[in-house]
């Protein structure tokens, strides 16, 4: 089943080829400010369309992407292209989909 999500204004759209089983609630300095709930996917299982603007954290390991129009953070991608995992902000998808997913906390503030 394909799941579709979008930023608030609809300029950035996301499609997931697989149904996630869980979402991560990370409390690192970036994620706690974003309020995102992340699911992790191979880039091959994800389709993202629309103009995006990136922000790299201080350690330059991840790029957080957001819509330049409404500001919603859509996903993150690793700076290292050899990494085969991206984080998708599941708050941009149907609340019904999100309600059915197990949530787990990740202590990124101490990692």
Using one digit for the tens of pLDDT, what is the confidence trace for 9-58? 999 999 999 999 999 999 999 999 999 999 999 999 999 999 999 999 88
The SS3 call for residue 6 is: strand
Query: Who's near 103: CB < 8 A, 6+ residues apart?
Result: 22, 23, 24, 25, 37
pLDDT value for 110: 86
Question: Is the pLDDT score of 97 beyond 80?
Answer: yes
Rounded to two decimals, what is the model's pTM?
0.93
Indicate if the pLDDT at residue 111 is higher than 80.
Answer: no
pLDDT mean over 104-110? 93
* The CATH fold of domain 3-106: 2.170.150
Query: Which tens digit of pLDDT belongs to each residue from 47-86?
Result: 999 999 999 988 899 999 999 999 999 999 999 989 999 9
* Every domain of the chain and the residues it spans: 3-106
Q: What backbone phi and psi angles, to 5 degrees, belong to 25?
A: -110, 95
């Amino acid at each position: 089943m394909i799941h579709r999500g979008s930023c608030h204004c609809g300029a950035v759209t996301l499609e997931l080829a697989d149904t996630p089983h869980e979402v991560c609630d990370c409390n690192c300095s970036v994620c706690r400010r974003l309020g995102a709930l992340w699911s992790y996917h191979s880039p091959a299982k994800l389709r993202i369309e629309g103009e995006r603007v990136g922000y790299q954290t201080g350690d330059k390991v991840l790029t957080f992407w957001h819509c330049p129009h409404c500001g919603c953070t859509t996903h993150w991608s690793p700076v290292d292209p050899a990494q085969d995992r991206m984080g998708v902000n599941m708050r941009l998808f149907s609340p019904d989909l999100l309600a059915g997913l197990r949530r787990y906390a990740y202590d990124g503030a101490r990692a």
